[in-house]
Chain A
């Protein structure tokens, strides 16, 4: 390769290149050069593949690019100039620059110059030609020149508000020239070539180019380095100094003043090109790391840091959370989802046990007074501190106009502020289960609600939106990032949460996917991490998939049918002037016409427990002796209808959601078929819950399907909310057909304040027995919770169908 070396010296020893050639093949002795050229051309090809062949793996240029449309990369120097120019730097650009910086900190700052920069090919060619032509004259500008150019470039950027260096940078010019046609870009590239050829040995890269200066600074800390590890074997042939683009970096490592000095080339100027490794006949050099220990540390740090990195949890449900307002609708999904953002005074753990949340402790100071001490130092997501005033405000909001949560705070007569973080809750009557009832009453920020005109929740029956519907400001472990109703709601972890996170989710996306097949397909394709409910027909298929798992357990929810027993004439019926549902025989006929076993085996595919009670086993107060259904008998039903005066049946409209409970619309269809057999024609209105709930909650229904999970896990809740006569303070708020039995109301009141467990249970049993005898509602079954997810997801499936993000771990 080089004739000059052949003539040097009069020794008998062969010239170094020949010695290298003797020991290694052509390929092996140019390993690093070849690798470097491949990488250079590869990077260039990546950039050119887009504009030339339409393969857009990498969009943009060396200054700023987008890899696979996802990973943004930015030249840190360009960013620095942009910063100096006073441009507003986009977060994506900053992240891109940090990515690149980290990369070069690892592989060596000026590795950019020798492994990536396209100009390197030009200057290497100039150097090669220079040695061929034996041009020895060289004027070397001072090393500090490029630093000054860098400083000037930044200063000019700042003064002219442009990215100054990029206007004259031959690197980007060459690259752009290759893409768009060279045009005038030849001129600076040629100038660099001629400068390096005729004026200065490797002058451009080592003394002029400010990009090199910048990366040299980065390279001071770089990890990957060339080391003269076998420097004792050096035979002083000088080959490394001859090929090195920055020869001054070698001396301190190869010929140190002190024998115990580090053999690693420490200077940031070294480009890690590896040419010295190629040409050394004595294998003195080796590519290695600066500090072996540090490398190990870094790897460990990466592994440890991995869980801290962005972990996005994408999950889907058959319906959307209808609002971000925690007082707007008493529905499990909404309470669950907003429960990631808002918190209550008293919370519930993985097994539904009570645990302190925004209150640290509480005790009953008199039969009707409870002292709650609030957690100190808690901040809402907007930074305002949480105090007793927020609790009082939240109480007024939850009991006031438009709230669907009255049933949870209806027992509270007064809240007295003791000090900023202590208060007394006063109930009208002794109410021993108060803490249990408070768990779903979320605390909102007083100042935020007042500022944003959201003092009152939106009444679901009226259906307009306010600021709190699509924005949120709670104290919880997650914050609302963005919300598109019906499409996607994004939460991000709250770094300032008071608790110790047990999750590793940094971002969670919630998608409503109503179509069952689409929802299954999304999980199978990996688009989502978790979804519920799994369509029962697909449970087996998901179980058979090696990447997925299905969690199934009984839910506390009871699915039932309700009938309007209040109006004198049903709003959807062929019967005029009277209400057939006021006749117990008609209700009993409906009950006995329903073949619950067929629904269980065919529609629920076994994933349901038929029930004769309005509560599930597991709810406090459940009495197994009462859990008896009236036997199925269409004949008896027909007879009952005839006795009631409807031998040929009648027509009735039925309201049913189709995206709320497991196979809800299918159950209604099956009920319609079964009732057809006793002559009742059901006009089924199955619709999305966004239109279903406003309708039935304003009692615009004659016959409906609903599910109920006692929010307190105690019988008092369904007795008070679903079975009691509609009244004040949330009483009977969800008794949509207005079933009424004065004795049940009386018992419910007594159960609320009862303390003796035996007496209390007796009253609960009596109330449910009365309701069953009246056939106030038609209980159907308790469904199974069926969640499908990827195997790497760990979460808690609470029996009330709550899936809190604070317990989600992505492995």
Chain B
């Protein structure tokens, strides 16, 4: 066990991690954000979803260091008297959840389609990749808006709030699968001609088994990098959609929703309602991005 630890500690990746202070800081920040979000119910001083605990008379309390602030609301309160710190923690939770879920969704979809395209080739390949090309010519946010709009039209208005999160995951996931598919297809084309794949084919394994058990493990490296960077993008996309008012509803606010609500009060001096969720979003996305950058460099032998 100890030896395994030592080997890991001495590995190339761990070495490059240890010697990059920015990465270490980013990792710590990510851990802090994720941890705070995951444990929000225990960390947060208030429960912003418990409407019964809110008091309108506490609305627009400035942060605690302001003379009019209250110690029980460290970052102040919003227009309905909710504690900003708690809403940010709960909001980050929703942002992260949507981000991770949509990345997983995009990853599964993209890797699956990429593998199929690369392995099957021919018409299936052409069909999938042209589809990818077409989608790539649209901005991701536009695709997400389109899907969101379609779902909203298809479903009755009173159901929107319940399914908002799933719609978001679907929209962001579908708008992001192309990168995975392209990368995986490229790697698959390379792997396909290698001898171990031919050997597997010769002994009569089914294509699905070859794809999943032989090719997939060998093409996953770059996918991991894309996924990390995509996580940051997905969180931003979610925030953008929520800011535009088509994301999660205000009753269960994500960071983007919080910024949208705060935006109305920016002119009037109640800056904390928009600024703190904004800072939280920047911190989260920046640290995830830095981690992703590092991972890309560390896994790329040519950059070493």
Question: Does chain A have a CB within 8 A of B56?
Answer: yes
The reply to whether A517 and B79 form a contact with Cβ atoms under 8 Å apart is no
The stretch that binds B, out of A193-201, A406-414, A681-689, is A681-689
The reply to whether B264 and A537 form a contact with Cβ atoms under 8 Å apart is yes
The answer for the CA separation of A673 and B78 in the assembled complex, in Å, is 13
Q: Assuming A670-B80, A687-B157, is B56 touching A595 (CB within 8 A)?
A: yes
The answer for the CA separation of A683 and B160 in the assembled complex, in Å, is 11
Chain B residue at minimal CB-CB distance from A524: B267
Cβ contact of B267, chosen from A517, A669, A683, cutoff 8 A: A517
Chain B residue at minimal CB-CB distance from A540: B268
Question: Does chain A have a CB within 8 A of B52?
Answer: yes
Question: Does chain B have a CB within 8 A of A586?
Answer: no
Closest chain-B Cβ to A701's Cβ sits at a distance in Å of 11
Chain A residue at minimal CB-CB distance from B54: A673
The answer for the CA separation of A488 and B52 in the assembled complex, in Å, is 42
Q: 5 interchain pairs (CB within 8 A)?
A: A517-B263, A537-B265, A540-B268, A541-B267, A603-B59
The reply to whether B158 and A669 form a contact with Cβ atoms under 8 Å apart is no
The reply to whether B267 and A674 form a contact with Cβ atoms under 8 Å apart is no
Q: Assuming A666-B79, A687-B157, is B267 touching A520 (CB within 8 A)?
A: yes
Closest chain-A Cβ to B4's Cβ sits at a distance in Å of 52
The answer for the CA separation of A677 and B251 in the assembled complex, in Å, is 16
Cβ contact of A677, chosen from B52, B57, B266, cutoff 8 A: B52
Binary contact track A535-548/B, C-beta < 8 Å → 1, others 0: 10110110000000
Q: Taking A537-B267, A673-B80 as given, write out 20 further A-B residue pairs in contact, using a Cβ cutoff of 8 Å, ordered by the A residue number.
A: A515-B263, A517-B263, A517-B267, A520-B267, A521-B267, A537-B264, A537-B268, A538-B268, A602-B60, A670-B56, A670-B80, A672-B51, A673-B52, A673-B56, A676-B52, A679-B52, A683-B161, A684-B251, A685-B157, A685-B158
Between A517, A535, A541, the greatest number of chain B beta carbons within 10 A of the residue's beta carbon is seen for A517
Interface size on B, residues (CB 8 A): 25
Chain B residues lying within 8 Å of A520, measured Cβ to Cβ, are: 267
Chain B residues lying within 8 Å of A687, measured Cβ to Cβ, are: 157
Question: Does chain B have a CB within 8 A of A320?
Answer: no
Chain B residue at minimal CB-CB distance from A663: B79
Question: Does chain A have a CB within 8 A of B250?
Answer: yes
Question: Does chain B have a CB within 8 A of A621?
Answer: no
Binary contact track B32-61/A, C-beta < 8 Å → 1, others 0: 000000000000000000111011110110
Question: Does chain A have a CB within 8 A of B270?
Answer: yes
Binary contact track B1-14/A, C-beta < 8 Å → 1, others 0: 00000000000000
Chain A residue at minimal CB-CB distance from B51: A676
Binary contact track A591-624/B, C-beta < 8 Å → 1, others 0: 0000100110111000000000000000000000
Q: Assuming A517-B264, A537-B264, is B161 touching A669 (CB within 8 A)?
A: no
The reply to whether A516 and B264 form a contact with Cβ atoms under 8 Å apart is yes
Question: Does chain B have a CB within 8 A of A393?
Answer: no
Chain A residues lying within 8 Å of B157, measured Cβ to Cβ, are: 685, 687, 691
| SS class, residues of chain A in contact with chain B | helix
Closest chain-A Cβ to B280's Cβ sits at a distance in Å of 20
Binary contact track B84-100/A, C-beta < 8 Å → 1, others 0: 00000000000000000
The answer for the CA separation of A6 and B276 in the assembled complex, in Å, is 86
The reply to whether A669 and B263 form a contact with Cβ atoms under 8 Å apart is no
Chain B residues lying within 8 Å of A683, measured Cβ to Cβ, are: 158, 161
The reply to whether A669 and B266 form a contact with Cβ atoms under 8 Å apart is no
Question: Does chain B have a CB within 8 A of A533?
Answer: no
The reply to whether A599 and B268 form a contact with Cβ atoms under 8 Å apart is no
Chain A residues lying within 8 Å of B270, measured Cβ to Cβ, are: 537
Question: Does chain B have a CB within 8 A of A241?
Answer: no
The answer for the CA separation of A681 and B49 in the assembled complex, in Å, is 12
Interface range on chain A: under 10, 10 to 19, 20 to 34, or 35 or more?
A: 20 to 34
Question: Does chain B have a CB within 8 A of A650?
Answer: no
The answer for the CA separation of A673 and B266 in the assembled complex, in Å, is 24
Closest chain-B Cβ to A524's Cβ sits at a distance in Å of 8
Between A515, A520, A602, A681, the greatest number of chain B beta carbons within 10 A of the residue's beta carbon is seen for A602
Chain A residues lying within 8 Å of B56, measured Cβ to Cβ, are: 595, 598-599, 602-603, 670, 673-674
Chain B residue at minimal CB-CB distance from A691: B157
Chain B residue at minimal CB-CB distance from A684: B251
The answer for the CA separation of A797 and B59 in the assembled complex, in Å, is 31
Chain A residues lying within 8 Å of B266, measured Cβ to Cβ, are: 517
The answer for the CA separation of A599 and B80 in the assembled complex, in Å, is 10
Chain A residues lying within 8 Å of B51, measured Cβ to Cβ, are: 672-673, 676-677, 681
The reply to whether A538 and B158 form a contact with Cβ atoms under 8 Å apart is no
Question: Does chain B have a CB within 8 A of A653?
Answer: yes
The answer for the CA separation of A595 and B55 in the assembled complex, in Å, is 10
The answer for the CA separation of A673 and B59 in the assembled complex, in Å, is 12
The answer for the CA separation of A584 and B13 in the assembled complex, in Å, is 71
Chain B residues lying within 8 Å of A670, measured Cβ to Cβ, are: 56, 80
Chain A residues lying within 8 Å of B52, measured Cβ to Cβ, are: 673, 676-677, 679
CB interface residues, A 244-284, toward B, < 8 Å = none
Chain A residues lying within 8 Å of B250, measured Cβ to Cβ, are: 669
The reply to whether B80 and A653 form a contact with Cβ atoms under 8 Å apart is no
CB interface residues, B 143-170, toward A, < 8 Å = 157-158, 161
Closest chain-A Cβ to B211's Cβ sits at a distance in Å of 46
Between B51, B55, B81, B263, the greatest number of chain A beta carbons within 10 A of the residue's beta carbon is seen for B51
Chain A residues lying within 8 Å of B263, measured Cβ to Cβ, are: 515, 517
Cβ contact of A535, chosen from B54, B57, B251, B264, cutoff 8 A: B264
The answer for the CA separation of A516 and B55 in the assembled complex, in Å, is 24
The answer for the CA separation of A538 and B54 in the assembled complex, in Å, is 24
Cβ contact of A602, chosen from B50, B57, B264, B267, cutoff 8 A: B57
Chain B residues lying within 8 Å of A602, measured Cβ to Cβ, are: 56-57, 59-60, 79, 81
The answer for the CA separation of A779 and B130 in the assembled complex, in Å, is 60
The answer for the CA separation of A674 and B52 in the assembled complex, in Å, is 7
Closest chain-A Cβ to B96's Cβ sits at a distance in Å of 25
CB interface residues, A 538-562, toward B, < 8 Å = 538, 540-541
Chain B residues lying within 8 Å of A521, measured Cβ to Cβ, are: 267
Chain A residues lying within 8 Å of B269, measured Cβ to Cβ, are: 537, 541
Question: Does chain B have a CB within 8 A of A572?
Answer: yes
The answer for the CA separation of A114 and B81 in the assembled complex, in Å, is 73
